[in-house]
Amino acid sequence: MGDFLLPLYLTFKLATIATIVLFLIGIFVAYFLAYTNSPLRFLYEALVNIPLFLPPIVLGFYMLVLFSPASFLGKLLEYFGIKIVFSFSGLVVGSILYSFPFMVNPLVSGFRALPKSLKEAAYTLGKTKLETFFKVLLPNIKPSILSAVVLTFVHTIGEFGVVLMIGGNIPGVTKVASIAIFDASMALNYKLANFYSFLLSLVSLSFLMFVFFLNKKFVSNDRN
């Protein structure tokens, strides 16, 4: 694989892994937030949305401090052979934390938009909580799932601050496309920077158009 393609490969690999992990975690977090009656719900929602208000560089810095080999957690992870700082694993962890609200919020909205009678009807028909979740609720929030997955993927491929702080700029390991754009710009290689920028923009726009198209079809089918 050519050196100039490596950042793209790492970018899409990172976005794919982060999106899958976030969906597996986020779908249950979203369900909890949507239906919990806990008086601390506002606190849980605030914690989920911290990355929306915290500058990426700040989040990356605190992650760097938290997972540094000099910290207790960093030493503990190193003892088990797990390296987070300046590694691809660090990029995944950073992207998961920073993109968390982009996965959870659309799913929460989807769950809350469902009529309460849907769950009650499922329980009345003898469905268990798991069956209701997987066979009744999830199929009815397909547009929200699609939006959450695409928003998370697109957001991850464009991330710069967090991945730079936690992963550094190691070619073939942590140098994703956004960092490659920065490097190319600093080296006045605007042709290469434009190549990466155009490709990321094209991919993001294509995904978003795909989401809008499918959501429109979902709405049309519901009306019919």
Amino acid letter for position 47: L
What is the domain range of residue 54? Answer: 6-106+140-218
Residue 133 lies in a domain: no
At residue 125, the 3 state secondary structure works out as coil
Residue 148 lies in a domain: yes
By C-alpha distance, which of 33, 23, 7 is closest to 195? 7
Q: Which two tokens stand for residue 118?
A: 């849907």
For residue 151, CA distances in Å to 21, 61, 107, 129, 197 come to 14, 24, 11, 28, 18
What is the distance between the alpha carbons of residues 69 and 60, in angstroms, rounded to a whole number?
15
Q: What is the pLDDT of residue 85?
A: 92
Residue 135 lies in a domain: no
By C-alpha distance, which of 27, 43, 36 is closest to 130? 27
- What is the number of domains present in the chain? 1
Dump pLDDT digits (tens) for 30-39: 999 999 999 9
Tell me which residues of the chain have a pLDDT lower than 70: 1-2, 217-224
What is the distance between the alpha carbons of residues 176 and 203, in angstroms, rounded to a whole number?
15
Residue 99 lies in a domain: yes
Q: What is the pLDDT of residue 214?
A: 78
Residue 196 lies in a domain: yes
Residue 134 lies in a domain: no
Q: What is the pLDDT of residue 126?
A: 86
Q: What is the pLDDT of residue 221?
A: 62
**CATH, residue 201:** 1.10.3720.10
Residue 37 lies in a domain: yes
Q: What is the pLDDT of residue 103?
A: 97
Q: CA 24 from chain center: how many Å?
A: 11
Q: What is the pLDDT of residue 125?
A: 87
